[in-house]
Amino acid sequence: MDKEYKMVRKTTDGPIRNKEKTRLKLLNAVGEIIRTEGYKGLGVNNIAAKAKADKKLIYLYFESVDKLVETYVRQKDYWEGFTDGIQALIEEHKGNFAEDLASKILVDQFNFFLQADEMQKVILWEISEKNELMREIADAREVMGNELFKLTDPQFENTTVDLRAIQALLIGGIYYLVLHAKSNGSTFCGIDINEQQGQDRIINSLKQVVEWTYTEAKNQKKDL
């Protein structure tokens, strides 16, 4: 029986399996540090200690601490999640980026960011100091976002509706409202998004603004 057990263990262990387990432990350690200590705790020794792994493995599996952190952030970032499916989305909605889809993307982002403690810390890091890694991640978001805007730009041509500016206000508003509520628990304009009622008000308003935006563009095109 003992020999049989050992043979099974050998088939489930090995360099590939161990590598993936260690990679996961290192990534999880980055998340734990961001949640509990903030980005200033992301040193090689601290990450290795949290992961209970040799720090040499960080360089072996990720090349550097920055690459490890970048991998973690890209996996967690809401907008990065569109990268793999962006071409399919473009093909599916070519020439007709639906209003309800535009609303869904914003509402999903709000719900995601509200619960994503690590990403809240990452965004705070991104806007609080000049950092090459955070700049690269932000630039990658812009590239992806520009692909989405290629779907919407034709629908707003020859109108005074500036969709990109409106989206900037909405996305920036989502970030600020969540960070404000989570940092000190206070209300904003009398709305408490730590409560379901407050969250519902924001979600309904996001949908309304998107609806107004598309309706105004359509009305202007009718008058041409």
pLDDT, tens only, 5-41: 344 444 445 545 688 889 999 999 998 998 888 888 8
Bigger pLDDT: 106 vs 97: 106
Q: Which pLDDT band holds residue 194 (cuts at 50, 70, 90)? A: very high
Residue 134, classified by CB atoms within 10 Å of its CB into exposed (0-12), middle (13-18) or buried (19+), is buried
Place of tokens 């034709």: 154
Tokens found for residue 154 = 């034709």
